[in-house]
Chains A and B, each alone.
Chain A
Amino acid sequence: MATIKTEFEKLRSTDVWRTIFRSGSGSSNLHRSQAVQQNIFLHLFSVKIRSRALEFSATWYLGALTLSTFFVLIATGILLMFYYHPSVPQAYADMKDLQFVVASGVFLRNLHRWSAHAMVFLVFAHMFKVFYRGAYRPPRQFNWVIGVFLLLLTLLLSYTGYLLPWDQLSFWAVTVGSNIAKAVPLMGKQIRFLMLGGNEVNANALLRFYVLHCVILPLTAILLVGVHFWRIRKDGGLHVPEKKTP
C-alpha cells in the first residue's frame, strides 16, 4: 500500500503530469480547490458546498440522476448511430439487425430506450421537487425558466427519437402527435408541414426527426444544461431552505 502511494506521488510530480494537472501534488485545501477550479469538467462546481444541500432529502439527487440518464443516452445514442440509416424501410431493417445480428444490439437499444423514458420521468420529478422545495425563488428565477426549456427539450428529444425505429408503434405515435400540431389556429398545417417535411409521416419526416434527434436537439440540450449548472453556482449553489430559528 505504501509503495503504491509513493509510486503515485512520484508519478504526480513528473513533468508530464504537471502539464496536465497544473495544481500539483499536495493535500492542502488550496490543492483541493485548484483541483476543482482548474478542471474544465469540475469547475462548474464551487470549491465548497453546503453539507445540508448534499442531504438526500434536499434534492433526492434528481438533478444528478437526470444528468446520468443523459450521459447514458449520449453514449448509447452515439453507438446506435453506427448501425442506423434514417431511410425507409432500412431504418426498420436496422432495428432487426440490432436485434438479431449486432453483438449486444438489443441491450444497447434497450438501454437507450429505457434511459430516455427514465429521463423524461426524472425531469418531471426534478421540476416538481424544485417547486415544492421553493428553489425557484430569487435569485434562481432564470434557472427555473431554463429548467422549463430543458423539460421541453427533453420531451422533444424523446418524441423525435420515438419515430426512428419506424415500426407501427412509432409511426402512429408520431402521427397522433403531429396531428395535434394541425390544431394550431391559422398556421397549423404549415407548422405540421415544417415539422414533417411533408403532409404525412414519411421518409422526409424520418430524416428530419433524425437530424433533430441526433444533432440539433442534443447540442441545444448540452448548451442549456451547461448554462443550467453554471447558473446553479452563480445563483449561490444548491438551494437550501432557511433553517427555522430555534
Chain B
Amino acid sequence: MDDNNKPGPLRSRPTMRELVYFCVISLVLLVSLAIAPAKNYFSEWRHYQKSYLAIAGQRQSGTLVRSFQGGLHQTWIAKLGVVDRCESCHVNLSGALVGASEQPFRKHPPMPHKLDEFGCVICHRGQGPATSVKEAHYTTEAWEQPLLPARFLESGCGQCHLGPLQGAPRLNEGRSLLSSMGCVHCHTVAQPDGNVLKPDDNPPPLTHIAEKTSREWIYAWIKNPQLYAGSATMPNFQLNDQDAADISAFLIAQSSASPASGTETKTVATAAPSANASIEAATLYGASFCSSCHAIQNEAGNLVGGNLGPELTRVGSKVNPDWLRRWLDNPSSYHPGTRMPHYRMDQKQVALLSGFLLAKKDNDYLANVHLAPASADSIARGKKLVAETGCAACHQINGVNPPQNFAPDLTLVGSRALAQVVFAPGMKHNLPDYIAAKIHDPRSFGPGLKMPKFALGDSQVDELTTALLAQTDRAAGFPKELIISGGRTTNYHPGGKAGRLMEDLRCLSCHAINGNGGDMAPDLTWEGSAVQHTWLEDFLKNPNTLRPALIRRMPKFNLTPDEIKTVTDYITSAYQSPALDLQPLDPHVLNADAAGRGKQLFYSKYGCQSCHIADYKNDKGYVGPALTSVGNRLTPEWTYNWLKEPNAFRPATLMPNFSLKDDEARDLTAFLMTLKAKQGGGK
C-alpha cells in the first residue's frame, strides 16, 4: 500500500493490528466452540440424576447412591420400535427411594407389563427417545403425540387387547358405545387383527313407517329425539323446522305396506278396561320381562328397565294402536331383523298389553306440532335431505341406498397426523382434546358438518375417546403374537327346524351361541354338554332363575310341547363341547364314598359355599348359581370338566380355577350330583 512501486522489500511481517484482530477473533471463536459441549454437560437429565442422588444422600441411602449408575438409561425393544429414555430422569420408577413424591422421582403404580418388554411410550405416548422435558412430554414440531392424560390412559391397553379387558373399564365401555351408539354405521373402525366393529343398536327400518306412527311424531322425533325419550340413541341432527317437515313428508311418502298389514287384528280388548284389567296388564308386562329390554320412566323420573329396546315412557303418543297389536302378535313380520322375541301371546294378552302400553301417553308431546300437508316439492326436498343427512346409513328407507364411506374411516384415528386435523378456533392443538370435542359437539367445528350431536355424558365422551385413541398405526405394526383378539362376533345362526324356531324366539338377542348373540343371558355354546335333557325341557316349560341374586329371568314364550322337544333335542345334541373329557367318569366312581369326600372338599378345603348355595338352610353364597338341584340340571361329565378348568368353557366366567386334582374333581362331582330337587326342576 505504502510501498508503491518501490524496488525495496515489501512488508513481510504481520502488523500489530493484524495480530490483535487474529488473536481476539480466534479467542472468541474458541470460547464459542466450548459453549456447545458445556450446554451438553448441563443437560436436564444430568440435573435430575444429580438431584436424585442429592435426595438419596439426604435420606442416608448410601447403598442407593453407591449402586446408582449415572448416564442415559434406555429401554430398547427392536420388534416394537421402542427406544425409551424416560428412565434417564424417572430414575425411581421401582420406588427404591421411598417417599420421593415429586416428579420425576415418583414411584410407578403396579404395572401390568414388564418395563423391559414394552417400555413406556406404548402406553403413555410422548416421545420416548427424547431426553429433554419439553420434547419428551409435549407436542413439538418433530413429535405430535404428547403424553396421554390419565383419563385416556386405557387406550394404551386397547392397542393389543382388542376385546373386553379386565381393569380397563373405560376402554371396554368406549368400545361397546362405538357399537351401541351406532358410530360404526357411518365410520369404519377396524382392529389390527382385521376385526371390524359392528353396530349393535339395531335401528328400525323405515320402509313401513306410516303404519307405525304419524308424520307429526316423526317430525317431533327427528327434531330432537331426546325430547321424546331421554335415553334415545338417535342423535340430534339439529334440523330446522322446514327440513324436519320435508323429511317427515318424504318418510311417510316412501312408506310401503308391510307383510303384517294384511293381518286382521281383532279388537278383543274393547270390552271395558276395568281396574282389574290394568292390574292384569301390568302383571303381564312384568311376567313377560319386557323391562329386561325396555325402560319406562317412573314417577320419580328414573328409568326402570333395560336398554336393548326403545324406551316406552311415551309410546302411546307414538304408535298406531293397530300396528302395536300386530307388532305384539309377531314383531318380525314388521321388522325381520328385530331383536324382540315372538312371544306367542294369545289375543287377550295382546289386547291387555297393547292397552297397557297405549296408556303410556304424553298428551302435550305432539300438541304443538301442526304440519302443512305434504306437497310433491316437500317430498322431493325431503328425499334429497335424507340422502344428504345419511339417514340411510342406519335405517332402511325405500328409494334411498345406504351411503358408502359416508364418514371418515377411524381405523387409525388414534395416531392421526395433526396436520390433517382441522381444529376449532380456541382449541388446544392435541389429538385427545380434538377427538373428545368432536364427539361432544361435532357441529361446533363449523357449519355444514354432517355429524350429528349424540346424547352423551362427559364420561361417555371420555370413554369413546379412549376407545378411539387405541386405534393407532403403531398397533397396526405390532408383531402378530402381541395382539390379543377379542371374542370375534360370528354370523352363526342355528339351522333346521329348531333353528327356525330359535330364530323366531330370538334366542340370540340375549344368549350367545358360537360367538354370536347378546350377553344378557348365559352363553349356550356348550349347553348340550352341560345340562340334562329333562331339566332343559322343564326349564323351557317354566323358566326360572338359577341365580338367587337375579330378579330377571327368561320370559315364558308359551311354547307347545312339540316346540319344546324340538328345541331341547337340538340343544342337547348340537351344542356339545369337543373338549369334554368323558374318560374318567364311569358311574361306579360317583358313589357315596366319593360324595362324602366331595362334601368335605366343598365345605372345608375350597369353601364353595361362599359363592354357591348347596343347602338353603346353611349357605349364603349369592355370587354363583344355586346348586340345590344341580344334580338334576348338569351332566356329571360337564361338572367334572368344568370344575377342573372353568374358563376353558366360558372364558369370562367368574368361577376361579382351583387347579383341582383329578380325584378331587371326581369327588366334588359325585357330591354335586347328589344335590337333587325333591320333585324334578324347581327351586
A100 within 8 A of B: yes
> Chain A residues with Cβ under 8 A from B36's Cβ?
104, 107
Q: Quick check: is B402 within 8 A (CB to CB) of the other chain?
A: no
B135 touching A29, Cβ below 8 Å: no
Please state if A48 and B10 are interface contacts (CB–CB under 8 Å). Answer: yes
Q: Does B207 contact A (CB under 8 A)?
A: no
Interface centre among A27, A51, A96, A97 (most CB of B within 10 A): A96
B625 CB to nearest chain A CB (Å): 55
Within 8 A of A (CB), among B10-40: 10, 12-13, 36-37, 39-40
Question: In the complex, are the beta carbons of A100 and B10 less than 8 A apart?
Answer: no
A-B contact pairs, 17 of them (CB 8 A): A27-B12, A29-B9, A29-B12, A32-B10, A48-B10, A51-B1, A96-B129, A96-B130, A96-B142, A100-B131, A100-B132, A101-B72, A103-B37, A104-B40, A107-B36, A107-B39, A167-B142
Contacts A104-B40, A107-B36 known; 15 new A-B pairs at CB < 8 A: A27-B12, A27-B13, A28-B9, A28-B12, A29-B10, A48-B10, A51-B1, A93-B83, A96-B83, A96-B130, A101-B72, A101-B85, A101-B131, A104-B36, A104-B37
A100 in contact with B135 (CB, 8 Å): yes
Cβ 8 A contact of B12, one of A32, A51, A103: A32
In the complex, chain A residues 15-42 whose Cβ is within 8 Å of any chain B Cβ = 27-29, 32
Q: Which of B40, B85, B142 contacts A103 (CB 8 A)?
A: B40
In whole angstroms, how far apart are the Cα atoms of A100 and B136 in the complex? Answer: 10
A51 to B10, CA, bound (A): 12
Docked Cα-Cα span, A167 to B10, in Å, equals: 56
Report the bound CA distance from A246 to B66 in whole Å: 84
Which residue of chain B lies nearest to A29 when distances are taken between CB atoms in the complex? B9
Known: A104-B37, A167-B142. A93 touches B12 (CB 8 A): no
Residues of chain B in range 129-172 having any CB-CB distance to chain A below 8 Å: 129-132, 135, 142
> In the complex, A103 Cα to B39 Cα: how many Å?
9
Min CB gap A133→B, angstroms: 21
Residues from chain B with Cβ under 8 Å of A27 in the complex: 12-13
Q: Are A93 and B9 in contact (CB under 8 A)?
A: no
Minimum CB distance partner of A96 in chain B: B129
The distance in angstroms between the C-alpha atoms of A28 and B11, with both chains bound, is: 10
Residues of the A chain whose Cβ atoms lie less than 8 Å from the Cβ of B37? 103-104
User: Measured between C-beta atoms, what is the minimum distance from B79 to chain A in Å?
Assistant: 14
What string of 1s and 0s marks CB contacts (under 8 Å) between B337-360 and chain A?
000000000000000000000000
CA distance A107 to B43 in the complex (A): 14
Asked whether B129 lies within 8 Å of A97 as measured between CB atoms, the reply is: yes
Interface residues of B in 67-81 (CB under 8 A from A): 72
* B interface residues (Cβ-Cβ under 8 A, vs A): 1, 9-10, 12-13, 36-37, 39-40, 72, 83, 85, 129-132, 135, 142
Q: Which residues of B contact A29 (CB under 8 A)?
A: 9-10, 12
A107 to B142: give the CA distance in the assembly, Å: 17
Which residues of chain A in 95-137 are interfacial with respect to chain B, using CB atoms and an 8 Å cutoff? 96-97, 99-101, 103-104, 107
How distant is B126 from chain A, measured CB to nearest CB, in Å?
A: 13
| Distance, CA A27 to CA B142, complexed state (A) | 58
- Minimum CB–CB distance from A111 to chain B (whole Å) comes to 9
- Nearest CB on A from B476, distance (A): 15
* Mask: chain A, 200-216; 1 = CB below 8 Å from B; 0 = not: 00000000000000000
Q: In the complex, which residue of chain A has the Cβ closest to the Cβ of B9? A: A29
Cα of A48 to Cα of B4 in the assembled complex, Å? 13
Q: B36, B37, B39 — which one has the most chain A CB atoms within 10 A of its CB?
A: B36
Contact A93 B10 (CB under 8 A): no
Closest to B4 in A: A51
Top 6 nearest A-B pairs (CB, nearest first) are: A107-B36, A100-B131, A104-B36, A96-B129, A51-B1, A29-B9
A99 to B135, CA, bound (A): 10
Which residues of chain A come closer than 8 Å to B135, judged between CB atoms? 99-100
Complex Cα gap A32–B239 (Å): 93
Taking the closest CB of chain A, its distance from the CB of B137, in whole angstroms, is: 14
Bound Cα distance from A28 to B9, whole angstroms: 8
Q: For residue A96, which residues in chain B have a CB less than 8 angstroms away from its CB?
A: 83, 129-130, 142
Q: Considering the chains assembled together, what is the distance between the CA atoms of A44 and B12 in angstroms? A: 19
Q: Which residue of A lies closest to B85 (CB)?
A: A100
A94 to B269, CA, bound (A): 82
Could you say which residues of chain B place their CB within 8 Å of the CB of A103? 37, 40
**Minimum CB–CB distance for B45 against chain A, Å:** 9
A100 touches B130 (CB 8 A): yes
Shortest CB-to-CB span from B352 to chain A, Å, is 69
Contacts of B131 in A (CB 8 A): 100-101
Q: How far is the CA of A103 from the CA of B41 in the complex (A)?
A: 8
CB-defined contacts of A100 to chain B, threshold 8 Å? 85, 129-132, 135
B473 CB to nearest chain A CB (Å): 13
Closest A residue to B13 using CB positions: A27
Give the complex CA separation of A104 and B39 in angstroms: 8
- Bound: A93/B82 CA distance, A: 11
Q: Name A30's closest neighbour in chain B (CB-CB).
A: B9
Question: How far is A167 from B419 in the complex, measured between Cα atoms in Å?
Answer: 14
Q: Which residues of B sit under 8 angstroms from A104, Cβ to Cβ?
A: 36-37, 39-40
Closest to B83 in A: A93
CB distance from A169 to the nearest CB of B (A): 9
A-chain residues with CB within 8 Å of residue B9 when the two chains form the complex: 28-29
Residues of B within 8 A of A51 (CB): 1
Inter-chain contacts of B13 with A (CB < 8 A): 27
Q: Which residues 74-100 of A have a CB within 8 angstroms of B?
A: 93, 96-97, 99-100
| Minimal Cβ-Cβ distance residue in A for B1 | A51
B136 (CB) vs chain A CBs: closest residue: A100
Chain A 49-93, CB-CB to B under 8 Å as 1, else 0, gives 001000000000000000000000000000000000000000001
Cα(A12)–Cα(B299), bound, Å: 111
Taken together as a complex, chains A and B put the C-alpha atoms of A96 and B127 apart, in Å, by 10
- Name B129's closest neighbour in chain A (CB-CB): A96
Nearest-neighbor residue (CB-CB) of B419 within chain A: A168
Interface residues of A in 178-235 (CB under 8 A from B): none
| Chain B residues with CB under 8 A of A28 | 9, 12
**Which residues of the other chain, A, contact B142 by a CB distance below 8 angstroms?**
96, 167
Q: Give, as a whole number of angstroms, the nearest-CB distance from A62 to chain B.
A: 19
- Distance, CA A107 to CA B72, complexed state (A): 19
Contacts of A32 in B (CB 8 A): 10, 12
